Amino acid sequence: MTAAASAGPGSMASFEDRPKWLCSYPADVVWDQTFEAMPLYSLIDRAVARFGPSVATSFLGKSMSYSELGRQVELVAAGLQRLGVVKGTKVGLFLPNSPTFIVYYYAVLKAGGTVVNYNPLYTVDELAFQVRDSDTELMVTLDLKLLFSKVEALLQSGVLKRAVVASFAGLLPPTKSVLFRLFKSKELSRPQASPMHGRIHLEPEVTADHGPPKPVAIDPVNDIAVLQYTGGTTGTPKGAMLTHANAYINTLQVVSWAPELKDGDERVLGVLPFFHVFAMTVVMNFAIAKASEIVIMPRFVLDDALKLITQTKPTVMPGVPTLFTALMNHPRIKTFDLSSLKFCLSGGAPLPVEVKEGFERLTGCKLVEGYGLSEASPVVTCNPINGSSLRSGKIGVPLPSTYVSLRSLDDATVEVPQGEKGEVCIAGPQVMKGYWNRPQETAAVFTPDGYLRTGDVARMDEEGFFAIEDRIKDLIICSGYNVYPRQIEERIYEIPEVEEVTVIGIKDKYRGEAPKAFIKLKDGRDTTADAVMAYLETKLSKIELPAAIEFRDALPKTMIGKLSKKELKEEEAARQTKA
């Protein structure tokens, strides 16, 4: 392993000591394969050429073929160029899941621009920070009031120069479109009547046919396709510069992991938000690479999702643990048909063992945990689809052409022996170019030999499988000992009454810090803090036992559905300040 670490990124095929995980690698996947770097929009060009008549998107009852999707991308790319988009122009996408997102994503790339993804739930202040930081010149949104009002505020303040506004009703089937305009007109804005109308371009102006877009020479290895904002390892929002090669190759790495899925034959459920890097790669780009039908949900509603699965019969459903937990615990889950699902990939947060095993028993579908981060486009490791369920709780093995090195928590230049915990460090073609306009932060997040430091703590077992123990910054220091919240969470998930749990560190006069558990119970189930503690006393050391347990009707989550510790930490800090 030492020779592997010193070889550095770009030398993955020439290690003297073969990586431990190769003894467990899927037989039909080649770890040391290489991938040719291409412009990211090559994915849609190939799908259109090979599967033009096939359905590309299905959205609220309206479908679009790959030929139609490709035509829209070409028209919009040419329109964006007429609006002044050139190589390197930053174009923001402030959109919910919709065909509009897919069209403008690939059109921006084809016009030579760089996509900047924006969270539709951001406040105006949060948006303003990202617009300024990224140098976003043009923002694309829909005419829904919830979205347009924020874009209009950015235009009025002078933070944003221009915007493109597309029609939401135009995305619907004809009857639904008329009914929406009639009965839900209060949800729509009138951008043409805005005081900022002079800086707003309506979509017909962009899609007017004036011929094909001008070809733009793309250097896939160096040209930035996407600025993906992330807190990284410090919590300060930073734009991860993902090149065309980063995002394109990571998509192909994920495709190579599921060779049994057939091009042109699959349906992918798009319930995760496309602006998030996980869904961008594993839902949208993956589906396009496989020429799959993308069944798009504009936002996640549990009953609607189950009805959609029953009606449209998707074969692939990427999700986050809270999504699978919600589906599994639906009181009428047995009245829905989930039998079409072949493969579900869980990412974005640790997948509790109980959730994985329960979902697989319920559906007969393989639920496979992967691991990644925005700075790696994002996928780094995954469990084999046909692997043993005995590996529950592991994040799997590295994707093809990816190397994972566990480094000492005291010295990131030293690789730890197998079986010991260390910081996950990554080398591979999906690793970002760096942080936008932040050379110091970029230097700090890479080791001297070029590996990306993740801030995550893991161990590798004797078969080469990795298990995340926690994040370095989430460590709870109790009386000088390291306590990992995930270890406590896993034990609490074993309690049958528990649906969700989050553990954070709180101040403690005796121990300095101590764990506190926030628990949401399953509907109709009940237990007490004493009962939870009695169970944990047989599973955890005294130093790991929670100092407090609080039951909640709901736990805070991020936009993508990950359980969020930020709000709970802020609550506890405020409570302790008052005390």
Could you tell me the two tokens for 458?
């893991």
Q: Looking at the structure, do residues 24 and 58 belong to the same domain, yes or no? A: no
Structurally, how many domains does the chain consist of? 3
Instruction: Domain of residue 554: give its range.
Output: 475-578
435 plus 524 within the same structural domain: no
The β-bridge relationship of strands 238-243 and 434-435 is antiparallel
Tell whether 521 is covered by a domain: yes
Cβ-contact 189, 143 below 8 angstroms: yes
Residue after which a domain boundary falls, among 157, 183, 207: 207
Residue 331, judged by CB atoms within 10 A of its CB (0-12, 13-18, 19+), counts as exposed
Mean pLDDT by 10 residues, the chain (579 residues): 34 57 94 97 98 98 98 98 98 98 98 96 90 98 97 98 97 93 91 97 96 97 96 68 98 97 98 95 98 96 96 96 90 94 89 88 92 96 80 90 96 95 97 97 96 95 91 76 83 95 87 91 95 93 91 91 89 82
End-of-domain residue from the set 440, 471, 502: 471
- Please check whether residue 46 lies inside any domain of the structure: yes
Same-domain pairing of 462 and 484: no
- The enclosing domain of 344 has a CATH number of 3.40.50.12780
Say if residue 329 is in the same domain as residue 463.
Answer: yes
Does the residue 180 lie in any domain?
A: yes
In this prediction the pTM is 0.86
CB atoms within 10 A of CB 78: 21
The 3-state DSSP class for residue 121 equals: coil
The pLDDT value recorded for residue 350 is 77
CATH number of the domain that residue 520 is part of = 3.30.300.30
Residue 189 maps to a domain = yes
Q: Which H or E element spans position 355?
A: helix 353-363
Claim to verify: residue 24 and residue 51 sit in the same structural domain: no
**Secondary structure of 446-457 in the HEC alphabet?**
ECCCCCEEEEEE
CB 285 within 8 A of CB 313: no
- Are both 203 and 246 inside the same structural domain? no
- Is 233 among the domain residues? no
- If asked whether residues 440 and 295 sit together in one domain, one would say yes
Claim to verify: residue 363 and residue 254 sit in the same structural domain: yes
Of 291, 268, 272, 269, which Cα lies nearest the Cα of 280?
A: 272
Residue 221 within a domain: no
Strands 162-166, 224-230: pairing is unpaired
- 187-214 exposure pattern, b = at least 16 Cβ within 10 A, e = fewer: ebbebeebebeeebbbbeebbeeeeebe
* 465 and 483 share one domain: no
Residues 57 and 150 in one domain: yes
Reported residue count of the chain is 579
Look up the CATH number of the domain holding residue 153: 3.40.50.980
Beta strand extents in 232-372 (DSSP E only): 238-243, 267-270, 293-296, 343-346, 366-372
**End-of-domain residue from the set 415, 446, 471:** 471
Are 339 and 459 in the same domain? yes
**Domain presence at residue 341:** yes
- What pLDDT score was predicted for residue 17? 64
Residue 236's pLDDT is 65
Report phi then psi at 415, rounded to 5: -85, 135
Q: How far is CA 82 from CA 100, 107, 207, 230, in A?
A: 19, 13, 11, 31
Quick check: is 227 in a domain? no
Please list, in sequence order, all residues whose beta carbon lies within 8 angstroms of the beta carbon of residue 579, skipping any fewer than 6 positions away. none
Residues 417 and 531 in one domain: no
- What 8-state DSSP symbol labels residue 86? -
